[in-house]
Amino acid sequence: MKLVLHKIVNKDGKPCIEVKIKDAKPKVFSPEKVSAMILIKIKETVRHSLGRKSIKDVVVIVVAIAYGFDSKGGEKNILVFDLGGGT
C-alpha cells in the first residue's frame, strides 16, 4: 500500500485501524465496524438528500470497473471498497 492514513494494528489476530482524533485516546476499529460506519453514512446522506425523516429499506449495489484506468496517463486516485459477499 502506498499511503495509509491511519495505523494498522493487530487486535485478536485481526488487522484493525487505530484512529487518534486530537488529544483523545486512540480508538481501534475492526474492518466490519468501518464498513458499518460507511453504510450508515451513505444511508444518512441519501435520507437527507431525499428529504425523508427515515428510510426503512436500503439496497446498496456497487459496480467497480477499474479496467483501463492505468492507460489514460497521469496519476489518478480511485477507491474500491469491497464489502464482501462473494464479490
pLDDT tens-digit readout, 22-67: 889 999 999 889 888 888 888 888 888 888 888 777 766 667 555 5
Alpha-carbon gap, residue 1 to 74, rounded angstroms: 19
pTM score above 0.75? no
Domain ranges of the chain: 7-71
Q: Strands of the chain (E only): list them.
A: 7-11, 14-19, 27-29
Q: What radius of gyration, in Å, describes the C-alpha atoms of the chain?
A: 17
